[in-house]
Structure 1
Amino acid sequence: MAFIDFSDAALQVLPNPVDYPLSSLTEMEQRIVALARADGLQSLKPVRKRGWLARLILGPTPPSPMLANEQMEALRRLAVRAWHHGYTLSASALAEAREAGYSDAKIGAVIDAIGRSREPFRSIAA
């Protein structure tokens, strides 16, 4: 069975990620999307306070990666999930961003921009 690589054709049809900025987002929102690239999925879980024995052995509880602004935190959570899962986001992730006040167009722009700037998936099989 033959394999046809359409990645070159897709790059010619789709605009370059550099030419496709997140123009619908503010500068602060663009920074949050960029910073979310370094965050792991563990940053989505709430930080629990350490008990006295854990504080004695491991030290004080580390600072929480959550943002103080609820709307910006929802954007960060959406961006973290998009950086790790690409276009295959759960419906609850999209609903959380909608509840924070983001429109479907803005959510789509974030996910699309992240999807275009992610590394393409390479199969191990030849």
Structure 2
Amino acid sequence: MAYLDLGGFNGQPLATSGALEAAATLTALEWQVVAIAQRDRLSSLEAPSRWSRFFALFFGGDRASPRLADSKLEALRRMAVLAWHKGYALPKQEIAAFHESGYSIDHLELLLARVSQGRAALNEGRAR
């Protein structure tokens, strides 16, 4: 498993959350994709198997993975699903696909910061 190394910048902190928001922003639609990705399973990142397509064909229902039509939003959804489930432990190939779709490292940091706040709030709510 590959991990994203956000350290190693000569001992300097990356940035405060206010500076991240100034450097990179996401649209309201993109934040909706991030919020919806919270409910997606990791299995939604995989291609549907022959069995799931077979069952969907004969028994109805939508057993296919929920892919977005827009490739940029799909890359964001994939990264958000991984962030919700794995935190900062992200595969290198997914980070590369995220960057290839047009997002910067600032976008990734902003996404991870927001998701980690959401995860902390969820864990705090469960602890009560």
TM-score, normalised relative to structure 2:
0.67
> Is residue 2:76 matched to residue 1:75?
yes
RMSD: 2.6
- Distance in 2 between the 1:119 and 1:89 partners? 18
In the other structure, the counterpart of 2:31 is 30
Q: Unmatched 5+ residue regions in structure 2? A: 1-15
The size of the alignment, in residue pairs, is 100
- Distance in 1 between the 2:56 and 2:67 partners? 22
Conservation of the 8 A alpha-carbon contact between 2:38 and 2:84 = yes
What is the Cα deviation at residue 28 of structure 1? 0.2
What is the Cα deviation at residue 112 of structure 1? 1.3
In the other structure, the counterpart of 1:42 is 43
* 1:88-121 superposed Cα distances (whole Å, 9 cap, x missing partner): 1121121110011101101110011101210377
Change (3 A) 1:78 1:54: closer
- Deviant stretches of 4+, over 3 Å: 53-56, 119-122
How is 1:37-116 mapped onto 2 (pairs within 5 angstroms)?
37-48=38-49, 50-51=53-54, 55-56=57-58, 59-60=59-60, 62=62, 63-116=64-117
- Distance in 2 between the 1:24 and 1:89 partners? 21
What is the percent sequence identity of the aligned residues? 35
Q: Unmatched 5+ residue regions in structure 1? A: 1-13
Change (3 A) 1:60 1:84: same
TM-score, normalised relative to structure 1:
0.68
In the other structure, the counterpart of 2:119 is 118
Conservation of the 8 A alpha-carbon contact between 2:45 and 2:65 = no
- Distance in 2 between the 1:75 and 1:54 partners? 26
- Distance in 2 between the 1:32 and 1:55 partners? 27
Whichever structure has more helix as a proportion of its residues is: 2
- Distance in 2 between the 1:101 and 1:54 partners? 34
- Paired AA for residue 78 in structure 1: M
- Distance in 2 between the 1:69 and 1:87 partners? 25
